[in-house]
Chains A and B, each alone.
Chain A
């Protein structure tokens, strides 16, 4: 059967006369189970008598060798790649601690039984879990084990010469022969084989081939760049992994909420949260100040399908560097500010309220600007006010801020926000009296209030309903505790400061990955031969090529080489074209699409099984290619 999926089983019978074309010393070194390599050797087989069925004992070194070869085989690489794809899936099905910590908390609440099991398995940290790491580490060990010998071999191949011209060119890709005669019948000197071959050599050289003359033939090879590209590609993958893995350790990320008018100083103490890399040190924080002068938002006002949709966020800031230089900048989404070796991103925004709490005696018990966290698209926001001192008792307030307050319409008096901008700002406060728990020494979030041990004195569960304030108004606290004033509403920007020295390196390697890929896939690697022999009254020229790897344009390339060569010998272009054309194709891109000129005369039109690896017909990898 000509077309078998296992090339090894259909090796050409007359392999002997191929020996010269399948000279592999300058071929890329590939894993032994690469379809284009010689059949794999078994561990005991040391190259000699493979008829030897009884394998010698392996010994430790033998086994290590064997496993190493297994690890660096194509099958293992394939298996590990598939495993990597599968192992990446769970992390997309459940929330990840790194990217969605709140999602994890929620998941735990919703699946109390499943959660501990999954957590043991590490699926909430899939991409740093031992099993995921094991897969990619093995893959990269395999990869390195693959690259190193190939690189070594490739360096040697780069210095080697093109292989000897095979005895029978007629079985190779794009084969054609042309006999040149002068009208008189006698060969003129210009048509002597040696000079014809020399001319072909010069032409091939100009075209970037490496050439070697063997008698009355020239052997040429090109496309070493293909293997170079492949090696660059795979090596750059290792580069990406290393720079991501190691480089991240030198960086840091920090978050800080800055209200209009406030200044943020790049120092550990001023961050709301901070994630240092493994090798981070304080000295990496270059001291600079960022003042948020103004935060501007634009919302859609006319498109009825998108009313209130944000169109733009702009943070106008003034920065002061260590040297005292002051300058003004804009930070936007997609347009971070680069300062002091770090990038400052605008990742969120919302409202902050200026609240003043005054004791009955008129003294100010509390005054602060408190950021409220947005809860929905219309920026209904929630925040907490804690007043530990200055009143007769500690009070805490849970506040809801509605930038455009409307009644929910069910008559309950419950408010909602109908638009993200400040059309009708209202602050609603539920007031609790009792122990804030601040003295216990347990750190507390500024965004939450623990109401255990406190009594609600204003709000849904209390006699008095929640306090409602619009900017500039004051309300009385229950029981004559004092008053609360909402003096102003401001915007805040949530800034992320990132420093990642490896970022550029990652990008560089990613660029190499891409460049290597293009080169490895689209640079053809091929051998071409031009052979001349004297016939009565002329010279017979033969042209043929051999693909090393996917090479759909090989046959056409051989044809073009023949044409150029003939033209150089004084053959008029149309005659050269006629003499070298393929039978019924004429070479136009559409007409011959299916027809494989690579098959040449050795393969009849209509036979497609000219993939030599599977064909009993063509001996080498000749002729498998089609025109694009």
Chain B
């Protein structure tokens, strides 16, 4: 039974990877199509000044926006008849047309058919992926995150889930290729290099904290992953806005750098809160299991380093001269440290956290 479930889980994860691959290709095609769209739009738009200069777009629109300031709407309160609303003279209808083709046009694009296919495949892949996670848990008769294989398996599912949920609120379709690419790499490494058979929990891991501490750590990792993707996009966009990078036409269809920065920051904040909790919960667990809450064990050290890096990121965002592209490097370095903590520290560093199962 255990073996059947574990085998099913493995089949499911390979299936999920196949579906994710389709999704990845479709997302990549969508980005390629964006390049074409961006080119076309800039060619056909008479008003938009060519080149990635949002400033001029804003400037052009300014006059009309000013004019509209005194607008607003009027409500006639008619106690007998129906109330009527009229004249919503809001900011520059004409300006809207100017704005749409500029880089960082923030109006939500209508997704291409590639994008729709990609998203559908991603959702389908996630469903299969989750079935793999669940059967692995059933096979082991415990939470499926007690060794590195299981951690990769569950962690990647959570990255996709965080992406999809965040995508409900803001348009993140441009990150799809990144998320799928990252996921495929992590899943491939996880299921090829880290695979272990189902084994029972060693006594040190038999604790409710395994459920809480590790789950929250995985969640935090999911948010950091998305934040890093946004920060990378921000860096590219910044370069383009400074006209130092001319290729990558599809970037025209992405939000502007400062908006990407805002998004990255907010996503990273959620990750940071989760990470803070992980750190505290880990200390509480260490006290239970090892008799001390903090002992500078290698894994503790790296969890702490990551926490400090993100605290640095938050401060950088609040520091004059560091806000913008500079601070985003810290978000990327932070996520690199998260990957390092998982992929390298677990396997090659000696410490009490000997749960890689390898």
Binding site for B on A (CB under 8 A): 1-3, 5-8, 30, 33-37, 40, 74-75, 77-78, 81-82, 84-85, 88-89, 91-93, 95-96, 98-100, 103, 126-127, 170, 176-183, 244, 253, 300, 303, 305-306, 309-313, 332-336, 343, 345, 347, 496, 498, 503, 506-507, 510-511, 513-514, 517-518, 521, 538, 540, 542, 550, 552, 566, 570-572, 575-576, 578-580, 582-584, 589-596, 599-609, 611, 614-617, 624-628
Name the one of A127, A180, A312 contacting B203, with C-beta atoms under 8 angstroms: A312
Q: Which residues of chain B have C-beta atoms less than 8 A from A580's C-beta?
A: 73
Q: Are A183 and B318 touching (Cβ within 8 A)?
A: no
B100 in the interface (beta carbon within 8 A) = yes
Q: Are B65 and A611 touching (Cβ within 8 A)?
A: no
Q: Are B320 and A333 touching (Cβ within 8 A)?
A: no
Q: Which residues of chain A have C-beta atoms less than 8 A from B78's C-beta?
A: 182-183
- CA–CA, A593 to B129, complex, Å? 28
Could you tell me which residues of chain B, from 77 to 111, have a CB within 8 Å of some CB in chain A? Answer: 77-81, 83-85, 88, 90-92, 95-96, 98-100, 102, 104-108
Binding site for A on B (CB under 8 A): 2, 53-55, 57-59, 61-62, 64-66, 68-81, 83-85, 88, 90-92, 95-96, 98-100, 102, 104-108, 168-171, 196-204, 206-207, 238, 241, 255-259, 262-263, 265-266, 269, 272-273, 276-277, 280, 283-284, 287-298, 301-302, 304-305, 308-309, 311-312, 315-326, 345, 349-352
Besides A1-B53, A550-B266, A625-B262, 18 other CB < 8 A contacts?
Answer: A3-B256, A35-B317, A74-B319, A75-B319, A81-B308, A85-B309, A98-B296, A181-B75, A305-B198, A334-B204, A518-B273, A575-B75, A578-B88, A607-B54, A607-B99, A608-B54, A609-B58, A609-B258
Known contacts being A3-B241, A334-B288, A604-B92, is A514 close to B276, with CB within 8 Å? Answer: yes
Known contacts being A506-B293, A608-B255, A611-B258, is A85 close to B312, with CB within 8 Å? Answer: yes
A-B CB contact pairs (8 Å), 30 listed? A1-B55, A3-B258, A6-B324, A35-B319, A36-B318, A81-B308, A85-B309, A88-B301, A89-B305, A91-B301, A99-B351, A100-B351, A170-B70, A178-B75, A181-B76, A332-B203, A333-B206, A503-B293, A510-B283, A517-B272, A550-B266, A575-B85, A579-B88, A593-B171, A601-B68, A604-B98, A606-B107, A609-B58, A611-B262, A626-B262
- CA–CA, A183 to B69, complex, Å? 25
Q: Which residues of chain B have C-beta atoms less than 8 A from A89's C-beta?
A: 301, 305
Q: Which residues of chain B have C-beta atoms less than 8 A from A611's C-beta?
A: 258, 262
Q: Are B265 and A99 touching (Cβ within 8 A)?
A: no
Q: Are A92 and B259 touching (Cβ within 8 A)?
A: no
Q: Which residue of B lies closest to A592 (CB)?
A: B108
Name the one of B291, B298, B318 contacting A345, with C-beta atoms under 8 angstroms: B291
Q: Are B305 and A180 touching (Cβ within 8 A)?
A: no
Q: Which residue of A lies closest to B315 (CB)?
A: A78
| Residue from the set B107, B326, B349, B351 with the largest chain A CB neighbour count within 10 Å | B107
Q: Are B57 and A253 touching (Cβ within 8 A)?
A: no
| Residue from the set B80, B258, B294, B317 with the largest chain A CB neighbour count within 10 Å | B258
Q: Which residues of chain B have C-beta atoms less than 8 A from A594's C-beta?
A: 105-108, 170-171, 255, 259
Known contacts being A88-B305, A333-B206, A575-B75, is A604 close to B64, with CB within 8 Å? Answer: yes
Top 10 A-B pairs ranked by shortest CB distance? A606-B99, A177-B72, A604-B95, A5-B324, A2-B55, A594-B106, A604-B61, A601-B91, A183-B78, A306-B199
Q: Are A5 and B323 touching (Cβ within 8 A)?
A: yes
Q: Are A78 and B258 touching (Cβ within 8 A)?
A: no
| Residue from the set B75, B273, B305, B318 with the largest chain A CB neighbour count within 10 Å | B75
Q: Are B64 and A514 touching (Cβ within 8 A)?
A: no
Name the one of A1, A170, A178, A306 contacting B69, with C-beta atoms under 8 angstroms: A170
- CA–CA, A36 to B196, complex, Å? 51
Q: Which residues of chain A have C-beta atoms less than 8 A from B55's C-beta?
A: 1-3, 609, 616
Q: Which residues of chain B have C-beta atoms less than 8 A from A603's C-beta?
A: 58, 61, 65, 91
Q: Are B91 and A605 touching (Cβ within 8 A)?
A: yes
- CA–CA, A496 to B290, complex, Å? 9
CB of B162 to closest CB in A, whole Å = 14
Q: Are A78 and B65 touching (Cβ within 8 A)?
A: no
- CA–CA, A538 to B83, complex, Å? 14
- CA–CA, A78 to B72, complex, Å? 45
- CA–CA, A77 to B317, complex, Å? 12
Q: Which residue of B lies closest to A610 (CB)?
A: B58
CB of A84 to closest CB in B, whole Å = 5
